Amino acid sequence: MPIKSRIRTIPDYPEKGIMFRDITTLLQDAQGFRKTVDELVQLHVRSKVDKVAGIEARGFILGGAVAHQLSVGFVPVRKKGKLPYDTLAESYDLEYGTDTLEIHTDAIVEGESILLVDDLIATGGTAEAAIKLIRRAGGEVIGCTFVVELPELGGRERLEAMGCEVLALCSFEGL
């Protein structure tokens, strides 16, 4: 069964006109979850990856599993105020305001190859902030991998303009 068919669509969430792509149905399906992780890993099995960075929160689940399969370390990219040690921070714009992501200052060694993983790419704002953090920490982003892409929102183009390869396992048209 294709990964896309295991993703639930919730209309009008979080607001009217939005079709929310919910991967929790995929994660709770043992075969679907395994297939997803296996496919994410296969995209990069021949790449030199030193660490996987996952964006809070679903990127932790997927990124941790991918890091395990690739036998590399994992870097949590968290919302502001959640990490206990010294951090680097990057703010980014949301539809209504701003948010901030952080990583530990010692999470990445200068020159490490980092694979960025998250569940979904829409406008690309969160991923862009994560890429900026990784680069400021001395890492080289060798790819950005997502389960779901919403192509109409332009996230792929935004990240490619930063020189990053973008891969997604499936896409959904519309918002």
- Which residues are part of the catalytic machinery? 58, 95
**Structure tokens that stand for 37 in this block:** 């992780």
The answer to whether 144 touches 165, Cβ cutoff 8 Å, is: yes
Residue 101, helix vs strand vs coil: strand
Query: Torsion angle, CA of 9/11/15/18, rounded to 10 degrees?
Result: 70
Helix axes 30-42, 58-70, angle to 10 degrees: 60
Determine the residue type at 40. Answer: L
